């Protein structure tokens, strides 16, 4: 991901900033200009809780080059109490414990390095609560 795009996504990636649609109340994460549910264009800011539960998950064995050191690792769709759904990597876990319904917290982690000399990209990963 080029640096300018990463930079634009900082509010969503670092602070989990989302939006609530003024028309239908849907939670949008990341924030959009037009609500995909009702095409509304007015939104109020919402900060997502740093916790949620796993809706579905999978285990990546054949990882992209820059994630090979971490394989095998779990990816999950996590729903926060506000109703937002995030696709996140799951860290500090046994792969078998990541199943639908698993309670997780969202922790600040380094997501990737842009090669050997590029920028470091940060965001959130899920960690099962035990």
Rg (CA), the chain: 16
Q: Applying CB under 8 A, does 15 fall inside the site for another protein?
A: yes
Choosing from 3, 41, 63, 107, the residue that interacts with another protein (CB under 8 A) is 107
User: Which pair of tokens denotes residue 92?
Assistant: 């500090």
Does residue 19 bind another protein (CB under 8 A)? no
Cα(96)–Cα(43) distance, rounded to whole angstroms?
39
Residue appearing with tokens 């989302």: 18
Taking alpha carbons only, the member of 78, 12, 17, 26 closest to residue 48 is 17
Q: Does 122 bind another protein (CB under 8 A)?
A: yes
Q: Based on the shown chain and the rule CB under 8 A, indicate whether residue 108 belongs to the binding site for another protein.
A: yes
61 binds another protein, rule: CB under 8 A: no
Residues that bind another protein (CB under 8 A): 10, 14-15, 50, 69-70, 89, 91-92, 107-111, 116, 120, 122, 125, 130
């Amino acid at each position: 991901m080029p640096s300018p795009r990463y930079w634009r996504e900082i509010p969503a990636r670092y602070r989990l900033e989302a939006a609530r649609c003024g028309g239908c109340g849907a939670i949008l994460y990341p924030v959009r200009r037009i609500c995909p549910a009702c095409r509304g264009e007015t939104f109020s800011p919402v900060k997502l809780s740093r916790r949620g539960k796993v809706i579905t998950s999978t285990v990546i064995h054949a990882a992209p080059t820059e994630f090979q050191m971490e394989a095998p690792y779990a990816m999950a769709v996590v729903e926060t109490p506000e109703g937002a759904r995030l696709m996140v990597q799951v860290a500090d876990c046994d792969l078998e414990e990541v199943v639908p319904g698993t309670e997780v917290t969202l922790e600040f982690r380094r997501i990737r390095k842009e090669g050997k000399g590029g920028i470091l990209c940060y965001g959130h990963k899920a960690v099962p609560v035990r």
